[in-house]
Amino acid sequence: MEVKVRYAPSPTGLQHIGGVRTALFNYFFAKSQGGKFILRVEDTDQERSSEEALQDLYDTLDWLNIKWDEGPIVGGPNGPYIQSERFELYKKYAKQLVASGHAYYCYCSEERLDEVRTQQKAEKSSQQGYDRHCRNLSEEERIEKEKQGIKPVIRLKVPTEGKTTFHDVLMGDITRKNIDVSPDPILLKGDGFPTYHLANVVDDHLMGITHIMRAQEWIPSGPLHVILYEAFGWEPPLYCHLPMVMGKDGQKLSKRHGSTSVRDFKEKGYLPEALMNYVSLVGWSFDGEREFFSQEELEKVFDITKINKSPGVFDYKKLDWFNGQYIRLMSDEDLEKALIPYLEKAGFIDKDISSDKKKKLDELVVCAKPRLKVLSDIVELAVFLFTNPEVAAPEMFVAKKMDLKTSYEALSKTYEIMIEDLNQGKSFEDVESDITNLATDMGVKVNGVFTPLRVALTSTTVSLPMSDTYKLLGKEESFKRIEKALEMLKKEVE
């Protein structure tokens, strides 16, 4: 049997980590089995669906290099793959269930349903929801309602006795008493639109889906779906509900933990390869040790039985680490290409970059490569090079246990050492060791002398290593900045 799986998002918001994890697991499982990966857009809720979310879905999968074998845009033998283009089909299947006695028309008004709910609450009734009022309408009663022009909904006749069991690859058998299953949910609404349950089951069947891999929050719908399959006389697919994705605090991953939309990760400068690699390890592992996998490798080694039963933790720090590793693997040219948009956006460079700046940029990329976690980090690291920012306040020059006066003294002496050493043709590494000696002579910590120099050259207290900073700026510019800083400090201490 050829494996066929699907990713079936509702385009109601931006693609987030949890959704993408579901997509990846489906995709890798399909590939590893030589099967097919289908994309289906579940936009039955027309109010909440948006064009933007749909575009974001395509963009996200494109960016991750996930190609679907059947689905929107590419088509396929079971299309269309957008549910709003299949509404006639669902109507037909709902009516088929009415004809076979597995579903029925319900004419209840919203007011009546509200009253029922209020009463159930007041009586603390064990049965909550629809009271199955129209389940036993006689044909005369039904015709009467039709005459009144009421547009009915179609409800599923959920058995009131017995149990329903479905098998989940990870969780084993899951059984519910039928009486605890939602009482006769709506399949087709009054306006002829299907609900999620009907469209989902009909499509999974018609599209030949063999395994349903989806988030665990859908487990409660499982028995209902199986009852639907039985009503149609269809064989249900195998289920594999995926463990939840949590933040480090054990709560379901949400905006509280940080951004979760893939678009945000892309904008911050995460690489698709890194995100794919890391997300594939959230709730899955190969052998508990190996962590680095290319897409091609995952397409081979992904194994559904190795999905964890317990929730997966999404650790932003770990992702940063992965991303840094992937950045380190890039060639200098590729990295430069990837960084340019960030530098352009920051206004540091233009489309037609001068050869001077290009040279600076080439050097910068080499210096920054070992330090970047995400591509956008380059902006903070490069400000000093492409602009000459003012030092915000003289206190910035002052390291712990230092004051303005000693900081001024340290920078003056540092400057003298630099001039002398460099005139003698010493390397910047030698200069640095002489500056370190200066700290000892002054009886202060190393930071006491390096902070004033760092702030003088970059106007910030975090930056690339001093030698990189100096080399990138060049002697002339470095000296200019140190003199300017000395002037500022001098005014303060006089």
Q: How far is the CB of 27 from ligand GLU (least distance, A)?
A: 14
Q: Which does 108 bind (CB under 5 to 8 A by kind): Zn ion, ligand GLU, none?
A: Zn ion
**Catalytic (active-site) positions:** 255
Q: Which does 364 bind (CB under 5 to 8 A by kind): ligand GLU, Zn ion, none?
A: none
Q: How far is the CB of 172 from ligand GLU (least distance, A)?
A: 20
Using CB under 5 A as the binding criterion, the count of chain residues that bind Zn ion stands at 4
Continuous segment of H or E residues that includes residue 159: none
Q: Which does 106 bind (CB under 5 to 8 A by kind): ligand GLU, Zn ion, none?
A: Zn ion
Question: Alpha-carbon distance 354 to 461, whole Å?
Answer: 29
Q: Which does 447 bind (CB under 5 to 8 A by kind): Zn ion, ligand GLU, none?
A: none
State yes or no: residue 106 binds Zn ion (CB under 5 A). Answer: yes
Q: Which of 91, 95, 133, 413 binds Zn ion (CB under 5 A)?
A: 133
The residues near 320 (Cβ < 8 Å, ≥ 6 apart) are 373, 374
Q: How far is the CB of 40 from ligand GLU (least distance, A)?
A: 8
Q: Which of residues 30-49 bind ligand GLU (CB under 6 A)?
A: 42
* Structure tokens that stand for 225 in this block: 């779906």
Task: With contacts defined by CB under 6 A, name the span among 3-11, 47-55, 94-102, 128-136 that binds ligand GLU.
Answer: 3-11
Question: Alpha-carbon distance 372 to 367, whole Å?
Answer: 10
Q: Which does 209 bind (CB under 5 to 8 A by kind): Zn ion, ligand GLU, none?
A: none
Using CB under 6 A as the binding criterion, the count of chain residues that bind ligand GLU stands at 7
* Structure tokens that stand for 433 in this block: 């060791």
Before 223, cis peptide (omega within 30)?
no
Q: What is the DSSP string of 268-284?
A: HT--HHHHHHHHHTSSB
State yes or no: residue 156 binds Zn ion (CB under 5 A). Answer: no
| 214/369 with CB nearer ligand GLU | 214
Q: What is the DSSP string of 173-224?
A: EEEEEGGGS-SS-EEE-TTSPBPHHHHHHHHHHHTT--EEEEEGGGGGGHHH
Continuous segment of H or E residues that includes residue 153: strand 153-156
Q: How far is the CB of 211 from ligand GLU (least distance, A)?
A: 11
The residues near 79 (Cβ < 8 Å, ≥ 6 apart) are 70
State yes or no: residue 214 binds ligand GLU (CB under 6 A). Answer: yes
* Integer CA distances (angstroms), 406 to 418, 419, 420, 492, in order: 18, 20, 21, 12
Q: Which of 63, 218, 232, 316 binds ligand GLU (CB under 6 A)?
A: 218
Positions that interact with ligand GLU (CB under 6 A): 8-10, 42, 200, 214, 218
